[in-house]
Structure 1
């Protein structure tokens, strides 16, 4: 009984509790340290490096990454990145062809590489060469009637190919392609891409330059046809005037184009010209109406014509009867009379002036007359000067001096 009491007293003593606490702390520390230093496994995706490739060679179809599995302390692997690992393939002394080469990997101190996936890299080594080839033109399609290629040139006429030797041996020519429609729409030159006789995507092949300039001239020898220009006049000139002439410059045009289009054109119309109320000669520039629709607009050698409308005043005559003959001037005789006392006067002027006929007066001049009886000419004038005196009938009358 005393033994149990002693054991219980010892377990409840402060010294025992202190010793137990220290022992437990040491055990916990030992467990944690063991966990940190315990080994673990981790896999990294690492970029694959290719070294010692010969001059004038390049790689094709080469993998660029491998998976590297490493083992080491947990705390060390937790701080690692793929950049801490190195994976390489040695290409020393390799020639053109396919090769299967081991992947060599390196890890930092304290880390052990367990596996590399894949352990081998399959690569194709290509020999790069240069080759110069002339450029040929390939015309797809035919020119329309009357159009042909008169001259052409390519700049440059040759291109440089750089790439895999085996591939370049298969290429014997390079081309540029165009169509007659492109040349007709162009302005004498086109930049055309160089084409290779290969299909699909091609790697490790370059063309210098990638395009060439194609300069050219076209010969146009289409049928020609002379076609008159036709005027369309609207309205009337002022009633006092008339149109003397209407001239068109040029009176006709020579069209050049496909026969099928020319056969549809007998004449070409000008835009209508309104001459309403005109009183003087004028010159106009009148647009041409494209023939048979917009498709034939390209046939027109000119787009407008010069129209000259010559206008002259109208002149009409009218006879006025019973015009009294008056006396004008002074003589030694104070009074005079004439026989016959009236005359007919023929006048000329604009229609509007004749429509509202102004007063016309006739007279004889007795100045310096000394004879009591004399034959004198009759003169006439219109008031306002709107009319021209054409004729007086009779042209002469007899003048008698009145003496008391």
Structure 2
């Protein structure tokens, strides 16, 4: 079948990575998937994909988050108003923006039904955007999600039954063996000798970046030569207020603040090397749909420090990762220090195959097929 997968941007975010990987895996299963995303002139996805991808032309929106969101919805609607672009058996949104666009198209009779993968839900603090998120949830004809946490939330809080599909990791890309880029990457980022801790996702409240810096301040008492790299940060949301809190926490480090490197978004080709260059991933997130980067780090041979919360507790066992209380920076610091101990690293490494064996993109894509078949039956009923 021919499947249109829609995502909210071309940036290296978890939902975008999921859409690209599912699109590729669906093609391996004999389907024809095309991944769409809003893209300005000359823009492309953060990585090359071997399934077909299409950029959706964007029109500059008024300033402000709500106008931006509404503008992106309008961009998608405008794109698919052309009947030659709607030659798909299934339409599948991976976010609230594209789900709203598909809801509008269905209401206008241009498509018959659509699916929506809910990775997680946000409280945007904007009545218009929150209402659009609610519309996306209620309008979809089928729902999927990536963790039991969000499957349960959708059922109990919204009365929605969602199919659990999970996430995977591409072990041909995320590998433990170095490719020679690691030392050059450290040099390019200005990282000197000493252990390196990596946080991925930029400076965001749900990524708990302030607590990571506070934990790092404690680590420096034990390892004064340590470094913290905060990678990523490409986001459609405005994190300015939280960034001010982060800057204040960074200022508390004094001269040691120079040991915190804000790399910004890192190209896909460099991410495996960045994981390998780090001694541990520090990922004490407060809200996640799944937490894909923890799998990527483990696949690269890098221990992961994660929150002792769902969804992490669903797909990691007691000895698979290092656990912390994300609301207590001292426990994050303790886990970071433990990650440097050779016996601990050996114990975690022994669990790698068991962990990764449960997360395969082809299996994830296969879980979509029954949902797609039900949608097609609805269309032809």
Decide which structure has the larger Cα Rg and report it: 1
Higher strand share: 1
Same fold (TM over 0.5): no
Structure with greater contact order relative to length (CA < 8 Å, sep ≥ 6)? 2
Higher helix share: 2
TM-score (norm 2): 0.16
